[in-house]
Amino acid sequence: MSGPTLLLAETGPRGLQAASLETIGVARALAGEGPVVAVIFAGPSDTATAALAAAGADKVLCLRHPFLEEGRGAACAFVVAEIARELGVELLLVGGTPFGREVAGALATAWDALAATQVTEVRRTANGYSLKRPVFGGRASESLELAGPRVVLALRPNSFGGAPPTPRACAIEEHPVPTIPPALLPGTRVRVRPAESSAGPDLGTAPIVVAGGRGFKSPENFHLLEELAASLGAAAGASRAVTDAGWRPGSYQVGQTGRSVSPQLYIAVGISGAIQHLVGMMSSRVIVAINSDPNAPIFRVADYGIVGDLFAILPPLTKAIRTARGLPT
Amino acid sequence: MRIVVFVKPVPEAETRLRPSADGARLDTDGVKWVLSGYDESAIEQALLLKEANAGSEVRAVTYGPSPRSEEVLRACLALGCTSAGWVEAPADLPPDVRLKVRALRQAAVRWPADLYLLGQQSLDTESGLLPLALAMALGVPGANGALDLAFDAARNELSFERSSEAGVEEWRLPSPSVIGLKQAKNDPRSAKLQNILKSRKMPIDRIPAVELPAAPEVTGNANRFRFELPPPRTGARLIEYAAPDEAAEKLVRVLREEAKVFP
């Protein structure tokens, strides 16, 4: 392999995205002894850059440009493609966020690369890369071989466990921003309203998600869900019935028309399990369902179930979790 | 306003998925091909824009094999699209988005538009790569995951919202743009019987495969070699308990000791 393995890191309101850290581990595993270079649209002294440098990259390239920091997929892809050509890169990894998906698509054209998203397994072969990804909302999976001089992969969040890579000596460099063609910088991001989400981690990439459904009966009862989420350090989500009714903001919605999540642990509370919801969470690693109806479809996809009244189960569950984790109860 | 909506025939949601005899792909024998939910939303969005902007045209375009392509295009015509275009493709296209981009770029040249609209991802392979890959190839602005599009004819601008890690973003993009839609304002409409009947007689403009440019610019090979179903879920193991406290403690124990996902 000629050039380094390149990855594009992403920053969010909470600093470096968890999806980007996972990407470093995969890049490290695929690169073997070869170098791993990370690109970030942030300054060399930003906390996200430091987190990236500490996570196992050999080099971090910092680029600053307001349009890149706005997450414009086309402009970001153009810049990354320029760097990839300059370094002779063959494999480029991005996290499985909406931004990562946009950049991967744009790179397929801008870098003339083979591309795949939602990758859950990947290994190097004689010809290129062999990978696996869920299709049909997790009802099946497909395996692909991408054999080409340039490959870009967007990884599905929380799919690659294992120990984090050992930190190594990492050079942090500022990299000049290539001149971006004006055609790639049209339009205006008028404003951003911060998501009205729970205080926990981002729903799309959190390793643990707890979600509530119509079983909560009214918006006033959702503090029980938020408390359970806090005890686990989890993101809180909801079914479509709940967000449609306005009990929780739309940013909570898990399902086909909301966020698609694949955490290590998904706890569905008071959610019956309509297909609309299942396709957004079915590829979670371990699923727990708590529901008063033993015939609810959610029990068919769950690994563990508690049939019971959520109002009776949740308070002692939150307490037991806090005790087990040594948190004040 | 001229709108082109790119749609993709996908197996209907109730399809029982099973691998083909060689294990490499979905067995499509007996599959009924339909518009996916995201594509239905894209068509709904295009029709809403057409109704809001007098004199607009909506053309549905697909790149696929026969007869599924004609079937979904007729469904689009029945819903209210004014014309349909079909770019012929082999039944088993390698999983390389650049091949689609090459074909759809040809369609975009034949049928220029103020807006090229797609569903944010297909319902079968769910890659979501196409909107930005196509925008880059057409040299126009692109965005994916858009909600509820509006068109300002005086400013020639499209506006929409979308969610990102940063929150809810409000965007304005000049026309023409390529936009991948997550959801329109309304649920998708259904076709009226009389329009279904009428759609059967409407013409479908065809770009034969031979009219596509050769593909010297596509480097590398993509190959789908396995399609498999996950092991069947056997259903939840129910935790037995006498009192809620016991249920809570047992669940913590299995998550920690058995599933090993306790933080």
pLDDT at A166 over 90: no
If asked whether residues B147 and B256 sit together in one domain, one would say no
Q: What is the mean pLDDT of residues A20-28?
A: 91
> In whole angstroms, how far apart are CA B120 and each of A24, A102, A237, A311, B224?
27, 10, 22, 38, 22
Distance from CA of A42 to the nearest CA of B (A): 15
If asked whether residues B119 and B244 sit together in one domain, one would say no
Confidence label for A195 from pLDDT (cuts 50, 70 and 90): low
If asked whether residues B87 and B21 sit together in one domain, one would say yes
pLDDT at A14 over 80: no
Of residues B37, B173, B248, nearest to A320 (C-beta): B248
> The complex's ipTM?
0.91
Confidence label for B263 from pLDDT (cuts 50, 70 and 90): confident
pLDDT tens, residue by residue, B1-15: 999 999 999 999 888
Confidence label for A196 from pLDDT (cuts 50, 70 and 90): low
Q: Does B92 touch chain A if contact means CB atoms closer than 8 Å?
A: no
Mean pLDDT for chain A overall: 91
Which of B211, B227, B245 is the last residue in one of the domains? Answer: B211
Mean pLDDT for chain B overall: 93
Better pLDDT: A250 or B157 = B157
DSSP H or E run through A38:
strand A36-40
Strands A129-135 and A140-147: antiparallel
Edge-to-edge strands, sheet with B83-88? A188-193, B167-174, B157-164, B142-152, B177-183, B115-119, B2-7, B57-64, B83-88, B205-207
> In whole angstroms, how far apart are CA A254 and each of A45, A145, A208, A244, A261?
36, 31, 13, 12, 7
If asked whether residues B248 and B202 sit together in one domain, one would say no
pLDDT at A288 over 70: yes
Three-class SS of residue B135?
helix
Domains of chain A: 5-184 (3.40.50.620), 208-324 (3.40.50.1220)
Cβ of A317 and B248 within 8 Å?
Answer: yes
Whether residue B36 is contained in a domain is answered as: yes
Cβ of B173 and A187 within 8 Å?
Answer: yes
Interface of B with A in 153-182 (CB under 8 A): 157, 159, 162-174, 177, 182
Domain count, chain B: 2
Cβ of A313 and B248 within 8 Å?
Answer: yes
Residues in chain A with CB shorter than 8 Å from the CB of B184 are: none
Whether residue B124 is contained in a domain is answered as: yes
pLDDT tens, residue by residue, A50-80: 999 998 899 999 999 888 888 788 999 999 9
If asked whether residues B39 and B158 sit together in one domain, one would say yes
If asked whether residues B260 and B155 sit together in one domain, one would say no
The radius of gyration computed from the CA coordinates of chain A, to the nearest angstrom, equals: 21
Q: Does A69 touch chain B if contact means CB atoms closer than 8 Å?
A: no
If asked whether residues B249 and B131 sit together in one domain, one would say no
pLDDT at A2 over 90: no
Q: What is the mean pLDDT of residues A266-273?
A: 97
As to burial, measured by CB atoms within 10 angstroms (0-12 exposed, 13-18 middle, 19+ buried), residue B18 is exposed
User: What is residue A46's predicted lDDT score, i.e. its pLDDT?
Assistant: 93
Of residues A13, A148, A316, nearest to B166 (C-beta): A13
User: What is residue A33's predicted lDDT score, i.e. its pLDDT?
Assistant: 86
Confidence label for B217 from pLDDT (cuts 50, 70 and 90): low
Output phi, psi for B137, to 5 deg: -70, -35
If asked whether residues B186 and B244 sit together in one domain, one would say no
Contacts of B167 (CB under 8 A, 6+ apart): A13, A192, A193, A194, A195, A251
User: What is residue A243's predicted lDDT score, i.e. its pLDDT?
Assistant: 93
User: What is residue A159's predicted lDDT score, i.e. its pLDDT?
Assistant: 87
Cβ of A208 and B251 within 8 Å?
Answer: no
Pick the closest to residue B163 from A108, A243, A133 (CA basis): A243
If asked whether residues B202 and B240 sit together in one domain, one would say no
Whether residue B219 is contained in a domain is answered as: no
Three-class SS of residue A77?
helix
Q: What is the mean pLDDT of residues A30-45?
A: 93
Q: Does B226 touch chain A if contact means CB atoms closer than 8 Å?
A: yes
Whether residue B224 is contained in a domain is answered as: no
Q: What is the mean pLDDT of residues B187-213?
A: 91
Q: Does A164 touch chain B if contact means CB atoms closer than 8 Å?
A: no
Output phi, psi for B231, to 5 deg: -55, 140
Whether residue B226 is contained in a domain is answered as: no
Quickly count: other Cβ atoms within 10 Å of residue B70's Cβ. 16
User: What is residue A202's predicted lDDT score, i.e. its pLDDT?
Assistant: 81
Give the Cα separation of A146 and A159 in Å (integer). 19
Q: Does B186 touch chain A if contact means CB atoms closer than 8 Å?
A: no
pLDDT at A200 over 80: no
If asked whether residues B83 and B190 sit together in one domain, one would say yes
pLDDT at A172 over 80: yes
pLDDT at B60 over 60: yes
Output phi, psi for A192, to 5 deg: -130, 125
Which of A109, A185, A210 to probe the B interface (max B CBs under 10 A)? A109
Question: Do the Cβ atoms of A313 and A307 come closer than 8 Å?
Answer: no
If asked whether residues B206 and B248 sit together in one domain, one would say no
Whether residue B216 is contained in a domain is answered as: no
User: What is residue A205's predicted lDDT score, i.e. its pLDDT?
Assistant: 83
How many CA atoms within 13 Å lie on the side-chain side of B132? 29
- How many degrees, rounded to 5, is the angle at CA B223 between CA A37 and CA B122? 85
Confidence label for B255 from pLDDT (cuts 50, 70 and 90): very high
Pick the closest to residue A56 from A22, A83, A94, A84 (CA basis): A22
Query: How far is residue A252 CA from its own chain's centroid?
Result: 15
Interface of A with B in 189-228 (CB under 8 A): 189-195, 202, 204, 207-208
* Percent of chain A residues topping a pLDDT of 70: 97
Whether residue B136 is contained in a domain is answered as: yes
Distance from CA of B89 to the nearest CA of A (A): 19
Least confident of A42-46, A194-198, B41-45, B132-136: A194-198
Better pLDDT: A259 or A13 = A259
Cβ of B230 and A140 within 8 Å?
Answer: yes
Domain of B89 in residue numbering reads as 2-211
If asked whether residues B240 and B173 sit together in one domain, one would say no
Question: Do the Cβ atoms of A248 and A219 come closer than 8 Å?
Answer: yes
DSSP H or E run through A172:
strand A171-174
Question: Do the Cβ atoms of A203 and A197 come closer than 8 Å?
Answer: yes
User: What is residue A162's predicted lDDT score, i.e. its pLDDT?
Assistant: 62
Of residues A12, A13, A286, nearest to B261 (C-beta): A286
Whether residue B165 is contained in a domain is answered as: yes
As given in the structure block, the two tokens for residue A138 are 């997790």
